[in-house]
Amino acid sequence: MPDLLAIVSKPIFERDAKVGGKLAGPGDVWPVARYTSVNRALSGLAEGGRLFLVTVRPPQEELWLVGVLESPALDDTGWGASPNTIPVTDITSLRRTLAFESRKGLPADKGTLAMALQTPRALAATDVSQILALTGGGAPANATMPSRTSSIPPRERRVIDGKYEILRRIGEGGMGVVWEARHARTGRRVAVKEILGDIADEEKRLSDRFEREARVTGAIETQHIAAVLDTGTDAATGHPFLVMELLSGEDLQQVMLRQGTLSEDVALRVVAQACAGLARAHEAGVVHRDIKPANLFLARRDGGEIVVKILDFGIARVKASMATADLALTTTGQMIGTPLYMSPEQVLRPKAVDHRTDLWSLGVVLYEALAGVNPHEDIETAGALMVAICGTPAPDLGAVAPHVSARTAAIVKRALAIDPAMRHASAEALLTDLRNELPEGIALYASQISLRPESLRADSQPAAPLELAETALATWNAEGGGAGNTQRSAGVQRKKGT
């Protein structure tokens, strides 16, 4: 059974790790009982094992062990276990001696520690012995044990902006929470993303981002993009919020975490449907810029059909005719996106990216779905990752996954061409190649892929499941690897092969 080490980000630790009303420090016991992440590197815990949680403390880059989860179990958005009993311990002295099973150790250069720990890593037996030797193996008698309460509990019958009655919490991340809610007047059930905490300086920017996402998705006519229904700022709390359709199903990241690879036929169908959605977005002058498994949602429909929906257009680039002074939020030249799925031009020239950056990212998704690994998954520092993306072709898919057909491997290779001019000219062109490998069409059905069963159904519409995972939260989750995300909705049925 594996012993894995994973990082708790600075914002999450400082928000949640309170003992006696103060931030937990060495000697205190933080009774953490959950790690919100569905990073595939944690999948070995399904067979048992321990999850050692650490955080990096400024300004000296101290490495603290903040808890150990014994035999955690996976649910929709992370790993849960009995409350931790190990005291917070400064293990900075082990920075040069921890080897991990990979034998790669930790970098010694200043400013690199947190990045090196972004992907959970398997500890060697000697690493575990060193860590436990420093902790003493348990909590000291005088350690302060705070009461176990949720950091953001739902309020009874709370109504956001006078319109959205909170029913339950369905996800959370480093900056906010997602609620299942009911419209007070129409009764429609929706997903509401709400930013929480002391973010006065960020409120205007986040409100603008939500408004932007609503405007962008509203301009694109396709069932393959999740609908944003409303945005605003709650007058009672000052918290920005965004209302989305409620979807039943799972995002692709969760599916791959549970199942590993997908069959070639299913992977092609999933990516082809996403490509169809991107084609409509690109026609509308919108480049998503953050395509990844967590932003591709597999939504259940009537009759067993599954429709892929693209989520989170919050950092999309739009053509000038769609932009306004208030909505031009992503044109500063700042590198935007999720590093493992960024195209070379997104790394080097973020202001100059066009629709082909989405085709690269979709190629990475297809590669990962077929091979079970990201083409750059073994790279552990941001600098090395950027260099590899821009200068080193992805390992040949046919060599990594010999079961994949040569024609499919060629499609992936073209999508991952470092020179954008060598990729498909458009999403429609890529979709044509994908369709050629799917003579029965791109429609997907529950008989072809297993999604988690619903845990709740609407009382007014027994056939409309409500289980939810919110994907935009992946962009908020700083706990090491894309927490589960979801959203839901009924919708128009698709015909087979469309």
> How many angstroms separate the first and last alpha carbons of the chain?
45
156 burial (CB, 10 Å; 0-12 / 13-18 / 19+) is exposed
The Cα 319–Cα 331 span in angstroms is 11
Kindly tell me if the per-residue pLDDT of 121 is higher than 90: yes
Residue with tokens 């990979």: 102
CATH, domain range 249-475: 1.10.510.10
Arithmetic mean of pLDDT, 104-131: 86
Question: Please, are residues 193 and 174 in contact by the beta-carbon 8 Å criterion?
Answer: no
Q: What is the pLDDT of residue 221?
A: 80
Tell me how far CA of residue 219 lies from CA of 225, 285, 315, 354, 441, in angstroms.
11, 10, 15, 18, 27
Q: Which of 192-201, 286-295, 388-397, 485-494 has the highest mean pLDDT?
A: 388-397
Kindly tell me if the per-residue pLDDT of 174 is higher than 80: no
CATH, domain range 159-245: 3.30.200.20
Number of alpha carbons in the 13 Å side-chain half-sphere of residue 364: 27
The Cα 296–Cα 242 span in angstroms is 19
Number of alpha carbons in the 13 Å side-chain half-sphere of residue 455: 9
Kindly tell me if the per-residue pLDDT of 24 is higher than 90: yes
Among candidates 24, 22, 96, which has minimal Cα distance to 55? Answer: 24
State pLDDT tens for residues 85-100. 999 999 998 988 898 9
Phi, psi values for residue 435, rounded to 5°: -60, -35
The residues spanned by each domain of the chain are: 3-135, 159-245, 249-475
Does the annotation mark 290 as catalytic?
yes
Q: What is the pLDDT of residue 242?
A: 87
Kindly tell me if the per-residue pLDDT of 11 is higher than 70: yes
Among candidates 309, 282, 307, 279, which has minimal Cα distance to 294? Answer: 309
Between 314 and 454, the higher pLDDT residue? 314
**Cα Rg, the chain, nearest whole Å:** 22
Among candidates 431, 119, 148, which has minimal Cα distance to 272? Answer: 431
State pLDDT tens for residues 293-327. 989 999 998 888 999 999 877 555 544 433 333 33
Question: Please, are residues 407 and 265 in contact by the beta-carbon 8 Å criterion?
Answer: no
The Cα 154–Cα 148 span in angstroms is 15
Q: What is the pLDDT of residue 305?
A: 93
**Domain 3-135: CATH class, spelled out:** alpha beta
pLDDT band at 337 (very low <50, low <70, confident <90, very high): low
Write down the mean pLDDT value for the chain: 79
The Cα 281–Cα 220 span in angstroms is 6
| Choice among 51-65, 197-211, 328-342, 455-469 with the minimum mean pLDDT | 455-469
Please identify which of the residues 290, 312, 358, 433 carries the catalytic annotation: 290
Fold agreement (3-135, 249-475):
no
pTM: 0.62
Residue % of the chain over a pLDDT of 70: 77
